[in-house]
Structures are given as structure tokens and as C-alpha cells.
Amino acid sequence: MAKVSQEMGNPYLSRSKICLMKREEDFEANLSGEEGTTEETKTSWFKRIKKGILTSTAEKKETPEGLWTKCPSCNYICTVTELRENLFVCPKDGHHHRIGSSEYFEILFNDNRYDILFENIRSKDFLHFTDLKSYGKRLEETWNKTDITDSIRIGAGQVREHHMIVACMDFEFIGGSLGSVMGERIARAVDYCLQHRAPLMIICKSGGARMMESAFSLMQLAKVSAKLSQLTDARIPYISLLTDPSFGGISASFGMLGDLNIAEPGALIGFAGPRVIRETIKKDLPEGFQRSEFLLEHGFLDFIVNRKELKHKIATVLSLLKN
């Protein structure tokens, strides 16, 4: 306080700065329950009579965590149960929330029954790569934190009358990044499809390559693309479903190699992010750039499918391809 009044007497101090300091002082006085000195604070409607916050922690009424959720698109608040019943699509504006592989398997497979294949293949830190922490430690932490073993899970089961393989990425596991495990699991899934003559669907949700595996990560793009061509030769359909977000090498290779390339509404799909592109070409980007609707209009996608119609559409498409 003494410092403030001393400063106020300072002729070099600007008038606006004095005003600001005085207001700050009054604001503090109001918070602590003291009388304000300016007209503004004196006539305030709400006044704190007692100093500080007096509610003890035990008395606080808290909502249990995870019970309510807010839509990031329209701020609509509803319970997680309501959202789950709606297949994680916002009831108000139809925004598709990001979900993991278990949710997609539940949506697609009949009676939520399926087998998870190739779980024994695990990532290894063969380059001894260290960024903020070592890759080995990062893997350990992710395994402890989640119940998933890598960024993709392979599910085999019935979708309506079709026996099919769904390979679904989990963004939760190091950003759904493409490492050697993802490559190997997809490769084995293709072998399984060839053996059982079952169609394959890959659900993409990834930030791109796993930088901790460097060139080993990039090699997977060629490996998976080559494996997928075996499906083409055997005349077995491969459907690529792109969800929010699908970026980097995946969208530039096997994400776009499907016999059908489809996407969820409003999903961000691209190679590099919009900010990088804007800074490179030094031009403003068109509205809705890299959203699935924009890509459909420009011929990158075959159709956009709402999550609620996903199972029905996939089954219909497979029936049409079979006949």
C-alpha cells in the first residue's frame, strides 16, 4: 500500500496507470470485505461480508468425474451414458466424438462378440531413441496407463452376415502413431483375410508416423501397401474408414488405398496440418479445408457415413460386392 501511494505521488506516472492501480486496490478491498473507495465499488450489488472462502473441503458438493460431458463443438452438456447410447455422436449437432477401438468393435460386431488377434506383438526400442524421455520408458508408461498393447487392434467377428476383420487404431496410444507393430499386425491381418477369404476394414485415427522408430516406421507404409495388393489380387475387398484425425503417412498411403475410402462427418483428414500449409504457401486456406465434406467434394472420398449408419452401410456394401 505504501508503495502504491508513493508511486501515486510520482509525477512521472501516467494518469491512466494511477486510475488502474486505484481500481485494482478497490477490487482487492471488495474481495476482502472492506469498503471500496470509488463510487463504482461502493454501490456494488454483491458484497463479500466475510473474508476468504470458508467452505471446508468435506462440505463441498462435487460431481463425480466422468459423469457429465461437454460437446467440444456446440458445448451441449449431457451424461456419458446418454452419449454412449447415441454412439458418441452429439445429440444436438451430430458432432462425432473421438472414440477408441473397443467402442468401434462394439458398434460393428454382432452382440459385441469378436476375437482380438496378434496381441503378442509388442513394440521394442531398437534404436534407443530418447526425446523428452526414452522410447522404452514411454512405452512402459503407456502400457501401464491403458489396457491396449499398441496403436492398432485387430478384431475378427461377424458384422451382420459377413465374417470380417476390423483393424482399428487407438489415438490414446502415442497418438495412434504408425510403428513397426502396427505394420506387422496389419500384415498378419491381411494373411488372415486371405486364409479365410474375409474382407478387411482399417479404421484410421492417427497423427502419422512414430518418430521414435524413424525409418522403421516409414518402411511400414511400403510393407502394408504391398500386403494390401495381395488382397486386390485375391479379389477380397478392403475398406478404409478415415476418422478424426487421420494425418501424415497413413493418409498418404494405405488410408487412401481402399476399394472404398470413406469417412466420418467433419473428420480432419490430411497430410500436413493446416497451419504448416498456410505458412508454406503464404495464402489463406478455403473454409472447411481438410474436413471430410471438403474431401468428398474434391473426389478423395467415396462417401461420408454417420456412425449410427456405419454397421448397416458396411454390411450393405459387402453384400453388393459379393454379388
Query: Which residues lie across from 168 on neighbouring strands?
Result: 153, 203
Q: Residue 99 or 260: which CB sits closer to Zn ion?
A: 99
Q: Residue 33 or 91: which CB sits closer to Zn ion?
A: 91
Question: How many residues make contact with Zn ion (CB under 5 A)?
Answer: 8
Say if residue 193 is exposed, middle or buried (CB neighbours under 10 Å; 0-12, 13-18, 19+).
Answer: buried
Q: Is 93 in the site for Zn ion (CB under 5 A)?
A: yes
CA 292/CA 250 separation, integer angstroms: 16
Say if residue 218 is exposed, middle or buried (CB neighbours under 10 Å; 0-12, 13-18, 19+).
Answer: middle
Q: Angle at CA 131, nearest 5°, toward 130 and 133? A: 70
Residue 315's nearest CA partner among 158, 204, 186 is 158
Q: How far is the CB of 68 from Zn ion (least distance, A)?
A: 14
Q: How far is the CB of 90 from Zn ion (least distance, A)?
A: 3
Q: Residue 92 or 308: which CB sits closer to Zn ion?
A: 92
Binding mask 95-124 for Zn ion (x = CB under 5 A): x-----------------------------
Binding mask 69-88 for Zn ion (x = CB under 5 A): --x-xx-x------------
Q: Angle at CA 167, nearest 5°, toward 213 and 301? A: 95
Candidates 93-101, 121-129, 136-144, 284-292: pick the segment binding Zn ion (CB under 5 A).
Answer: 93-101
User: What does DSSP assign to residue 14?
Assistant: -
Q: How far is the CB of 85 from Zn ion (least distance, A)?
A: 15
Distances, alpha carbon 185 to alpha carbons 214, 248, 308, in Å: 18, 19, 28
Q: How far is the CB of 70 from Zn ion (least distance, A)?
A: 9
CA 15/CA 119 separation, integer angstroms: 70
Residue type, 38: T
Binding mask 22-61 for Zn ion (x = CB under 5 A): ----------------------------------------
Candidate residues 83, 87, 89, 90; the one interacting with Zn ion per rule CB under 5 A: 90
Candidates 33-41, 67-75, 180-188, 233-241: pick the segment binding Zn ion (CB under 5 A).
Answer: 67-75
CA 159/CA 92 separation, integer angstroms: 28
Q: How far is the CB of 88 from Zn ion (least distance, A)?
A: 11
- Which residues touch 65 (CB under 8 Å, ≥6 apart)? none
Q: How far is the CB of 273 from Zn ion (least distance, A)?
A: 23
Q: How far is the CB of 75 from Zn ion (least distance, A)?
A: 7
Q: Residue 3 corresponds to which cell in the numbers above?
A: 508503495
Interface with Zn ion by CB under 5 A: which residues?
71, 73-74, 76, 90, 92-93, 95
